[in-house]
A and B are shown apart, each in its own frame.
Chain A
Amino acid sequence: MIGSVSAVAAGSSGCHIFSGCGFPSPSLESFDFKPIFSIGSFHFTKPILLVLIGMVAVIAFFWSAFAKPQLVPRGMQNLGELGLLAVRDQILRPSLGQKGDRFLPYLTSLFFFIYFCNLMEIIPFLQFPPMSRSGFPWALVATVYLTYLYLGFKQQGAWGYIRNMIPSDVPAFVLVILIPIELLRYFVIQPFTLGVRLFANMFAGHLLLLIFTLATWYLASFSIGLLFAATSAIMVLAVFLLELLVQLLQAFIFTTLAATYIADSLEGSH
């Protein structure tokens, strides 16, 4: 893992410490990729390829699990049921209850797609989280946003939905500031933070891995730098373990909040 990233990144140019070149620090350019091919002005880059791989992986996993379901599960169906029931019992039932089971396919797809895409950050040769290109989280947020707005307006009516956003038993002088804040929250802040949370977590995690991996390569010269390179390698391991936790956590949080927002739309939060 360290070898493939460092060799590509430092251009195998032998740019080490004490050899006169500065640290090739990662920046926004590390997240831009040359297109694999282009059709007109549409550039097919590595993040698009990774997202397509993630989509195929999720479809293949659940197809192989549930194509011919048996009453007593065998083989892949065990794993599929484990995943499905985990999403249902940990994510869906706490917010939506049993009558929200019709959202299980959507929430399961969301959770596993985000988790597979996040895992690509640490899989060798892929090594890039597509969710760190902000367009992909915004697309997922758009599906959640349109879903909970549509359900809210359909379930409670246009005026009822807006009225239920504001709690009823507050004094009038608090309402002056509460109404704009609550409207902003439902229409602007909720989708924004949902998307930015996933994007920023993946961006920062990939940036951390890049910094310590490049530092290990840069510091690895036959001098005292070798000691620092070893320390940097230990930091790579530490950030790797942190990223394992963060990937699962971010997929879980995105799906949980999506379920919570849908539940707020269906029942009226106040």
Chain B
Amino acid sequence: MVDLATAANVVAAATTGVHGSTGSIAYGLAAIGPGVGIGLIFGHAIEAMARQPEASGRITQYMWIGFSLAEALALIGIIVPFIFGK
């Protein structure tokens, strides 16, 4: 049975705000877009290679280029907290 003191502590903690690293929240938000983008890139590349297997080499090359461009945004997200954080 939860006694009155711990219940009061929980309420007090909830009303004084959320503490911790906002950098982790920042990266979590920053990873949404590139996650979708990288999934699209590889999905379309696989579909293109299934339609025309003889173009696989060229498709693979463009796939890696597109992947690194999309991934760059997620990685900028992980280093920004280090730049702007305390």
A253 interface residue, CB < 8 Å from B?
yes
Candidates A94, A196, A203; contact of B72 at CB < 8 Å? A196
**How far is A193 from B79 in the complex, measured between Cα atoms in Å?**
13
The interface residues of chain B lying within 8 Å CB-to-CB of A27 are: 82
Candidates B65, B68, B79; contact of A203 at CB < 8 Å? B79
B75 interface residue, CB < 8 Å from A?
yes
Within 8 A of B (CB), among A234-258: 249-250, 252-253, 256-257
**How far is A204 from B68 in the complex, measured between Cα atoms in Å?**
14
**How far is A93 from B36 in the complex, measured between Cα atoms in Å?**
31
Within 8 A of B (CB), among A165-210: 193, 196-197, 199-201, 203-204
- Contacting pair B78 A200 (CB below 8 A): yes
Give 1 or 0 for each of B42-78: 1 = CB within 8 Å of chain A CB: 0000000000000000000100110011011001101
A45 interface residue, CB < 8 Å from B?
no
A78 interface residue, CB < 8 Å from B?
no
The interface residues of chain B lying within 8 Å CB-to-CB of A94 are: 61
Chain B: which residue is nearest A31 at the CB level?
B82
- Contacting pair B68 A200 (CB below 8 A): no
Candidates A197, A249, A252, A253; contact of B75 at CB < 8 Å? A197
A90 interface residue, CB < 8 Å from B?
yes
- Contacting pair A200 B64 (CB below 8 A): no
- Contacting pair A197 B68 (CB below 8 A): yes
A-side interface size class: 10 to 19
Candidates B64, B69, B75; contact of A201 at CB < 8 Å? B75
- Contacting pair A196 B76 (CB below 8 A): yes
- Contacting pair B64 A252 (CB below 8 A): yes
Candidates A197, A204, A256; contact of B78 at CB < 8 Å? A204
- Contacting pair B76 A256 (CB below 8 A): no
Chain A: which residue is nearest B77 at the CB level?
A200
The interface residues of chain A lying within 8 Å CB-to-CB of B82 are: 27-28
Candidates B61, B72, B75, B78; contact of A90 at CB < 8 Å? B61
The interface residues of chain A lying within 8 Å CB-to-CB of B79 are: 196, 199-200, 203-204
- Contacting pair A253 B78 (CB below 8 A): no
The interface residues of chain A lying within 8 Å CB-to-CB of B71 are: 197, 201
Within 8 A of A (CB), among B9-57: none
**How far is A203 from B83 in the complex, measured between Cα atoms in Å?**
12
- Contacting pair A193 B78 (CB below 8 A): no
Give 1 or 0 for each of A197-232: 1 = CB within 8 Å of chain B CB: 101110110000000000000000000000000000
- Contacting pair B61 A253 (CB below 8 A): no
With A28-B82, A94-B61 as known contacts, state yes or no: A249 contacts B76, CB within 8 Å: no
Distance in angstroms from B50 CB to nearest chain A CB is: 23
**How far is A32 from B9 in the complex, measured between Cα atoms in Å?**
41
- Contacting pair A204 B75 (CB below 8 A): yes
**How far is A250 from B68 in the complex, measured between Cα atoms in Å?**
8
The interface residues of chain A lying within 8 Å CB-to-CB of B68 are: 197, 249-250, 253
Q: Which residues of B contact A (CB under 8 A)?
A: 61, 64-65, 68-69, 71-72, 75-76, 78-79, 82
Q: Apart from A27-B82, A249-B64, what 6 extra A-B contacts exist at CB < 8 Å?
A: A94-B61, A200-B75, A201-B71, A204-B75, A249-B68, A253-B65
15 contacts across the A-B interface (CB closer than 8 A): A28-B82, A193-B69, A196-B72, A196-B75, A197-B71, A199-B79, A200-B72, A200-B75, A201-B71, A201-B75, A203-B78, A204-B78, A204-B79, A250-B68, A256-B65
